[in-house]
Chains A and B, each alone.
Chain A
Amino acid sequence: MTIAGTESVQNVHRPVSPSWTGVVRYLHITPRAFLPMESFNDLTLVAGKGIVGDRYMIGQESGFYSHKPEDGRQITLFEIETLEALARDAKIQMLPEEHRRNVTVQGVPLNHLVGRQFWVGEALLEATRLSTPCRHIEEILGKAVFDPMINRAGLNCRILKGGVIHVGDIVRGA
């Protein structure tokens, strides 16, 4: 017997809700640990590898966490709504180049996408896990962002289908 509302959530294969459609607001990469992220209008994604020129491109890793290899860290996303929340709730001004994720999106419920596939422009991504905040960002920024970013630090993804993505691209469920 299953009590209503308590069925296991692990085995429920729900489609991504079609009720959201997001957009890419910013794209950033950096080639090596500690260096600032630079903004680009487009990025080239390579399936199963990463972003051309970024420090976590598999096979050419030079990031702060590269000594901990992770297949599901080929590209990372961050909600622009979190930046707004940090300003509103914690009075911390954090810029899109400061959260150190690659893609800043608007209107995308990232925390809902773990284990699911979605499109960013012509690229197909699979969300592998939530990103976690890290002291490394505090060290680089000199801003106390660790605690306010807990549970909203972005999303790590694997690239299933590569391509060139652009600022302004639509983000939608697969």
Chain B
Amino acid sequence: MAKPIKHLQAVVRSIDEPMPGIKRLVLADQDDWRLPAFHPGAHIDLHLDGGLTRTYSLCNDPADCRRYIVAVKKEDSGRGGSRYIHEQLRPGDKIGVSVPRSGMALAPTAMNIFIAGGIGVTPFVSAILALEREHKENYVLHWTSRGNPSLADMLQPAIRAGRVHLYNTLETAAPDIQSLVRHYGDDAKAFCCGPDRMLDAFEAAVAHWPDSRKHIERFVAPKLAPTPSAHPFTVVLAKSGREKEVLPEVGLLATLEEMGADVSVSCGGGICGACRTRWIEGPPIHRDRVLTPQEREKEVIVCVAGCAGSRLVLDI
């Protein structure tokens, strides 16, 4: 029997290097068929050789539905995904791609304040291209980078219009985020994507803002808080009936991987949503940053979840 098709099969149309250490991939269907639509700030998983799955923000205009563009910074100390893309992936290669997920709910008329650090600009590129296409001026991008910014060629109209503020930290101090977000009124919405220190400063600056007015994109999964009270439980795969004990020191995700369970995993830290799975019995202990309370009634992000009961039965 043929194997199930679990992902889009895309072709790498081109790869360029807008600056050293950054590769930009253009992905398309083999016949340039339309690709699944996406929202500004959405991301996709790339399913790479060797079982690697990595999540990247789409950084083309969502109206440009015949291709996906992602930018990948080489992380020599990372887990291997970016090294594979930089060193082995070639134009013409086929690559598995997930359906786009998530995205940012932009304020339709109020100010959208985008705060980016380095390659963290990627989710804002698609948002800005969408806003510019609609001739909307209700946004500003504050973009900090060490040296020249990496994808500035994609934002030239916005830069020329004065809606992008660049901060090269080799020449100037990084901006004070508190002062960046406080001048745009009580209905402004703030977004941040960058290194942990920037995200921490952002979270402090908008701590008193309602959740509906702030949005954080993380590209490094946060470390989970230790759970000394965690207890063993049994995970059950409903469709096969297979089960295995989950030890606290091993965790649910590693146990599922040992079982060869059909779960797609990317961030491993509860932020990307690749491993969302329906649950039947539990209840799970949810520790993700993805699901709404309503979604948690039926689904669980298994890469970070625990179980409040003795059995967690998953609908896989």
Contact = CB atoms under 8 A, between A and B. Distances in A.
Interface of A: 30-36, 38, 61-64, 66-69, 135, 139-140
A34 B8 contact: yes
A31 B31 contact: yes
B170 interface: no
Nearest to B1: A67
Closest 4 CB pairs of A and B: A33-B5, A34-B8, A67-B2, A67-B4
A64 B5 contact: yes
B312 to A, nearest CB: 19
Nearest to A37: B34
Interface residues of A, dominant DSSP: loop
Nearest to A35: B33
B302 to A, nearest CB: 16
Contacts of B33: 30-32, 35-36, 38
Nearest to A140: B99
B136 interface: no
B29 A36 contact: no
A53 B283 CA distance: 45
Given A35-B36, A36-B36, A67-B2, 11 more contacts: A32-B5, A32-B8, A32-B9, A33-B5, A35-B8, A35-B29, A35-B34, A36-B33, A36-B34, A67-B1, A69-B1
Interface of B: 1-5, 7-9, 29, 31, 33-37, 99, 278
Given A139-B99, A140-B36, A32 B29 contact: yes
B251 to A, nearest CB: 25
Given A32-B29, A35-B29, A139-B99, A63 B5 contact: yes
Which of A34, A61, A64, A66 has most chain B Cβ within 10 Å? A34
Contacts of A35: 8, 29, 33-36
19 contacts: A32-B5, A32-B9, A32-B29, A33-B5, A33-B8, A34-B8, A34-B36, A35-B29, A35-B33, A35-B35, A35-B36, A36-B33, A36-B36, A36-B37, A38-B33, A64-B4, A66-B5, A67-B4, A140-B36
Contacts of B1: 67-69
Contacts of A63: 5
A61 B1 CA distance: 12
B99 A36 contact: no
A137 B181 CA distance: 39
Contacts of B35: 35-36
B220 to A, nearest CB: 26
B94 to A, nearest CB: 12
B90 to A, nearest CB: 22
A63 B2 CA distance: 11
Contacts of A34: 5, 7-8, 36, 99
Contacts of B7: 34
A65 to B, nearest CB: 8
A140 B35 CA distance: 11
A61 B3 CA distance: 12
A62 B99 contact: no
